[in-house]
Amino acid sequence: MTVYRNLLIRRANQILVDLLIFGFSWVAAYFVRFEGPPADRSLEQMLWLAPSMIAARVLLFWVFSVYKIVWRYVSIHDAVVFFKAVAPLTLILLALRLFAPGEISFVRVPASVIAIEFLMVLLGSSGVRMIRRLANEAQGRDDLAARNRSKSKSVLLIGAGVSGNTVVKVLQQRTDLGKHVVGFVDDDTRLIGKDIQGVHVLGGTSDICRIVRDQTIDEAIITIANASSKDIRRIVDICHSAGLKVRIVPGLFEMFDDRVKITKVREINIDDLLGRSVFHLDKHLPEVSRCYRGKRFLVTGAGGSIGSELCRQLATMKPAEIVLLDKDENSIFEIDNDLKDRAEAGVTIHPVIANIKNGERLKLIFAKYRPEIVFHAAAHKHVPLMELNVSEAILNNVLGTINVVETAAASGVERVIFISTDKAVNPTSVMGATKKLGEIIVQNCAKRNGTKFSCVRFGNVLGSRGSVVPLFRKQIERGGPVTVTHPEMRRFFMSIAEAVHLIIQSGTLGDRGEIFVLDMGQPIRIVDMVKALIRLSGYQEDDIEVKFIGARPGEKLYEEILIDEERTRSTKFEKIFIAPPVERLNGKIMSDTSVLIDAAAAGDEDAVVRCFREMGIGFTRAEIN
């Protein structure tokens, strides 16, 4: 009974408010129309029709269930309900104005009065409810903020652009997160001193130490979604010197995954310090997606670091089918489940366990699934291990590549993209030599077939299988020492996601075996990467010993991306360059390949190395003191 009585009281209060709005709107419309009190007949019309208008408005609001709307939850959707409740009476007044006979001219209300009254009723009735909702939400935020104030952290946002604007808006709405934004810093001098979402831009990144001294700040968040690794390293160093914990918003490549949002602030990792690059991610994405939409793909090595990320990114481009081919059943199980969890609409996934060394098995797979585009990522890539397993490197990386490209060409595949490596340039390791030979095999096959072939060459990717980063982390967790091969050992680094995005772009180019070279930026000293990992782990550089143990078999001191014979040209993609096929390498070498494979099959590793040296591909064993 009490609940029913309270409901009646609330409805009565709502009707009373609306009565005031309806009455005021009707009278005010006349006052606006006549620029003051109406006179004579217009005054009589206003007073005579007022009770009917107010009663009709209330009745229509009841019929259209306006009084069932809870004021504190009124939304834009409810505006449609208000419009439906207000419009009928307005339409009746317009009809009477246009068609009522002269005998009842007192119901012919001026058109301007009708329009003004309609707008005032609509805005007044919906506006008063919206004001109630905003007041209720503001009170709720204030109450929640008061409860969380004692445990909230003061946050400095680094970057006042679009990402920073988004983050501060979310933090202001989500007071339950317990983060109070003290201010922004940004190196754009035009923003310094301005307010964004009510938050002041306190200075540039060089002012962080001063700002921390002047104010109580618990942590900093880098809110620059496209920040380069160089900028992140500089900002992290400044924040560490100021004693600030630093976090960051996801990078552009992480946001390929719809489940990763810009507001998912996370800890700084090694990819941020070494692997982030800045370029126009969305510039060519629609064009590339159109090239792949509706196609049937086959990815060899689909369970590996590069192969699995290839499958993830290809799945977002609305292909018809993706064949996941790998000899490792566990890795295929993982990527198959990952793609199914993402539930890409209309994409059929085929997990296939097979070894590329088995040419007959490959023929059956190609005949069954009829792929149109093949990414050949399957390979043994670990340099020191391949120095100890020379024959396996040849059979997998050379024979396997022959099987893939020959089967693809015979099956009428439209395009084959071979994933190569910077270690193929002037190779000093067996693995590098197999990749160089793989490029030559692709170029040779491209001359003889209608299938379009291309190679993509790049350096190390952070976080891949066999990467040194997990090893370094384990050594740091144990308290050291961290073992580094040589103090001047340098490598190119790129995140897996960025490398794969560029591979996919490269896959739309080339047709005669061209080698596409990815711009890896500047080489990074391995010892500098170790120091960064030590700092990220919460230690000072001097806390963990770095021990130099000498270069491993087959390793270069510096990796190369290009050689003099390969004069690069730019492409329409800003970080992809093209090196023309090296024609002089495609003659005698191909006739020697069968000898090389026979030696590997027989386990004669000395003959394999000797054959590599005699092939003329620039192979020499690395010697580093």
Whole-number Å distance between alpha carbons of 530 and 468? 10
Residue 7 in this model has a pLDDT that exceeds 70: no
- Domains annotated for the chain, with CATH where assigned, are 2-146 (no CATH), 152-268 (3.40.50.720), 285-466+492-544+559-615 (3.40.50.720)
Q: What confidence category does residue 564 fall into, taking pLDDT thresholds of 50, 70 and 90?
A: very low
Give pLDDT tens digits for 105-135. 778 888 888 899 888 888 888 888 888 877 7
Q: Packing angle between helix 430-448 and helix 588-601, nearest 10 degrees?
A: 130
Q: In which band, very low, low, confident or very high, does the pLDDT at 371 lie, cut at 50, 70 and 90?
A: very high
Pairwise CA distance, residues 436 & 422, whole Å: 9
Whether the link from the prior residue into 580 is cis, omega within 30° of 0, is: no
**Which one, of 442, 436, 435, 590, lies nearest residue 513 by Cα?**
442
pLDDT score for 150: 54
Q: At residue 407, does pLDDT exceed 80? A: yes
Say if strands 524-525 and 490-491 run parallel, antiparallel, or are unpaired: antiparallel
Distance of alpha carbon 275 from alpha carbon 63, whole angstroms: 62
Contact call for residues 457 and 422 (beta carbons, < 8 A): yes
For residues 166 and 35, give the distance between their C-alpha atoms in angstroms, rounded to a whole number. Answer: 46
Rounded to an integer, what distance in angstroms lies between the CA atom of residue 221 and that of residue 228? 15
* Section 174-181 average pLDDT: 74
Q: CA–CA distance from 158 to each of 132, 184, 232 (Å)?
A: 36, 6, 10
What is the band of 258 on the pLDDT scale with cuts at 50, 70, 90? very low
153/155 Cα distance (integer angstroms): 6
- Spell out the SS3 assignment of 195-252: EECCEEEEECHHHHHHHHHHCCCCEEEECCCCCCHHHHHHHHHHHHHCCCEEEECCCC
- Determine the Cα–Cα distance for residues 459 and 517; give it in Å rounded to an integer: 10
**Paired tokens of 237:** 């160093």
Q: For residue 356, what pLDDT is reported?
A: 95
Rounded Cα–Cα distance for residues 162 and 41 (Å):
59
Say whether pLDDT at 373 is over 90: yes
Q: Are 499 and 312 in contact (CB under 8 A)?
A: no
Residue from 315, 331, 348 nearest 504 by CA:
315
Distance (Å, rounded) from C-alpha 566 to C-alpha 271? 30
Q: Which two tokens stand for residue 65?
A: 């269930």
- pTM of the predicted structure, to 2 decimals: 0.63
Question: Which range has the worst mean pLDDT, 14-28, 181-195, 450-464?
Answer: 450-464
Q: Which tokens sit at 431?
A: 């693995």
φ, ψ at 547 (rounded to 5°)? -115, 130
For residue 485, the SS3 value is coil
Give CA–CA dist 164/178, Å, rounded: 17
- Alpha helices, DSSP H only, in 162-204? 162-173
